[in-house]
Amino acid sequence: MKFPNIIDWFGLKDKPAETKTTKPIFSIAPKSISRVRKDIADWNKALQMAMLDENPKTWSLYNLLDEIMQDALLKSQVENRRNKSLSQTFSIIGKDGKVNQEITDLLQNKIFVNEVNTEILNTKYLKHSLGQWVYADGRLKFQLIPRQNVDPVTGLVYQDYTEDKFIKYRELSEFGVWVLEFGDTTLSADFGLINAVVPHVLFKRFAQSCWSELCEIYGIPPRVMKTNTQDKRMLNRAEQMMRDMGAAAYFIIDESEKFEWAQSVQTNGDVYKNLIHLCNNEISMPISGAIIGQDTVNGNRSKEQASQNLLEDLVQADLSLIEQEWNSKILSSLQLIGEIPQGEWYYKYDKAEDLDKLFGYTKDLLNAGKEVDEKWITDKFGVPITGERQTQQNAQKLSGDFFF
C-alpha cells in the first residue's frame, strides 16, 4: 500500500524554499469535542487505550489532557515556567567559539523560534511533539500536528484518529527536514507532567461543584407549600404563586402529606475548601517543584525564595533540553530549507548573571578607586553615564580660583 506524502497535505511538494508561500493545507479531519464531565474512570480508560501493545490510541487521553489544561492554576503554573525559558536570550556560536551576530540577530527576530521552542518545552508536559515547517503569510512557521492524530511509538500520523488510514512519517524523505519530532517516542506510562495532575484537577472540579451546590442550598433554601393537589385550580394557583415569589427551588405537597427535613452535617464548606487547597498544592508540585505564592497564611520571604530557586533549576533543565534539540535537529533543518547559511553552528543560551550581586561588586570597585569601563556599565545595567558629577568641593575650588 502506498501512503500519501505528508508534504502533500501542506501543498509544499516540489517547490523550492524561496517560493513556498502557499497557505498550509491540513488534511487532518477536524473533530468536534463534547464538553462533558470527566471522572477517574474516563482517565483510566484513556490510559488503557494509549498503553496497548498493538495499535495504541492516544486521542482519548490527549482530548482529556486538553480539557485538564483549562484549569486556571495549572495553566498559570505552566505558563510561568514556560515563559521563563522563552524569555532567555541566546546566541549562535560558530566552530571557533565566537558568536555569529548576523545569524543570532536573524533568529532572535523570528517568531518561529518561540513556536518551535514552545513545542520542545511541551514535551515535558505532554510527552511528544510532531511539527511541520510551513510557509504562510510570507513567513516560516512551525505548525504542530495534533497529538491526537500521532502515534509516536510506531511512527504513524492519522488523518482521522477514529479511522485506520495513516502514513508512516518517519519513512518520508522530508522527515528531519520539513517534519521534526521531539520528546519520548517509547511505549511507556509516562505521558508528561499534565497527566500526573489529572486526578487532582478532577477532584478539584468535583469539590468546587459540591461547594457551589452547598452555597445554593444555604443561600437560597427551598420552599414548601401545602395545598389540595386534587383541585387543579388550586394546584395551578399554588404553582403560579411559588414562581412569582423568587428563583429558589420549591415543591408542592398535599395537605394530608407530611414532609420532614433530613438532619445533615452542619458545615460551612471547610471540607471542600481543604480538598481544593490540597489539589492546588499537588498541581503546583510537578510543574514548579514547589508551592509558589499560594499559602498566604503561612508563607514567608525565605520560603518563597527557596521555591523560586527550585523553579530556576527546572528552567535551567528546560533550557538545556532546548539547546540539545536545536543543535541536533533544528539548525541542520533550517540550513537545508535555506533559512540560515550553511556552516557548523551551535545554539547556546547566554549565561545567567545575578545583576544585583554584580552591581554590588561594581560599586565596591568604584569606591576602592578602581576604574570601570563606562560603556560596560551602561550596557550591563542600563545606566547612562554622561560624565563626572560636579561636587560642592570642586565648585568652591573653581569659585575661589576665579575670584583670586
- At 187-223, the pLDDT tens digits run 888 899 999 999 999 999 999 988 887 777 676 777 7
78 and 186 co-located in one domain: yes
The DSSP element (H or E) to which 91 belongs, if any, is: strand 90-93
Tally the domains of the chain: 3
Alpha-carbon 112 to chain mean position: 17
In which band, very low, low, confident or very high, does the pLDDT at 53 lie, cut at 50, 70 and 90? confident
| Domain-located, residue 160 | yes
293 or 4, higher pLDDT: 293
Which range of residues forms the domain containing residue 229? Answer: 198-299
| Domain-located, residue 350 | no
Q: Flag the least confident range among 170-179, 185-194, 298-307.
A: 298-307
Which amino acid is located at 281 in the chain?
N
| Domain-located, residue 342 | no
Q: Flag the least confident range among 56-60, 140-144, 309-313, 396-400.
A: 396-400
Q: Which of 3-17, 32-46, 356-370 has maximum average pLDDT?
A: 32-46
Statement: residue 120 has pLDDT above 90: yes
Q: By C-alpha distance, which of 81, 19, 147 is closest to 284?
A: 81
| Domain-located, residue 341 | no
CA 79 – CA 85 distance, rounded (Å): 10
Q: How far apart are the first and last CA of the chain?
A: 104
In which band, very low, low, confident or very high, does the pLDDT at 400 lie, cut at 50, 70 and 90? low
94 and 184 co-located in one domain: yes
In which band, very low, low, confident or very high, does the pLDDT at 235 lie, cut at 50, 70 and 90? confident
188 and 204 co-located in one domain: no
| Domain-located, residue 130 | yes
Beta bridge partners of 181: 130
* Average pLDDT for 16-24: 41
Statement: residue 174 has pLDDT above 50: yes
Statement: residue 122 has pLDDT above 50: yes
The count of C-alpha atoms lying within 13 angstroms of the C-alpha of 293, restricted to the half-sphere facing its C-beta, is 7
CB 116 within 8 A of CB 182: no
164 and 284 co-located in one domain: no
Residue 33 confidence (pLDDT): 66
Entry field: residues in the chain: 404
295 and 384 co-located in one domain: no
Read off the pLDDT of residues 236-274 as tens digits, 9 standing for 90 and up.
Answer: 888 888 888 777 777 788 888 877 766 655 667 788 888
295 and 187 co-located in one domain: no
CA 251 – CA 240 distance, rounded (Å): 12
The pTM for the full model equals: 0.75
Q: By C-alpha distance, which of 222, 174, 255 is closest to 4?
A: 174
| Domain-located, residue 339 | no
Spell out the alpha helix ranges (H) of 220-345: 232-244, 270-288, 301-325, 331-336
**Region for residue 293 given its phi and psi (left: phi exceeds 0; alpha: psi -120 to 50; beta: otherwise):** left
136 and 236 co-located in one domain: no
| Domain-located, residue 57 | yes
277 and 153 co-located in one domain: no
Residue 359 confidence (pLDDT): 74
Strands, sheet with 139-144, edge to edge from the N-terminal-most edge strand = 139-144, 128-136, 179-183
290 and 319 co-located in one domain: no
173 and 227 co-located in one domain: no
CA 68 – CA 54 distance, rounded (Å): 27
What percent of the chain clears pLDDT 70, i.e. is strictly above it?
A: 80
For residue 153, give the 3-state DSSP assignment. Answer: coil
For residue 392, give the 3-state DSSP assignment. Answer: helix
185 and 212 co-located in one domain: no
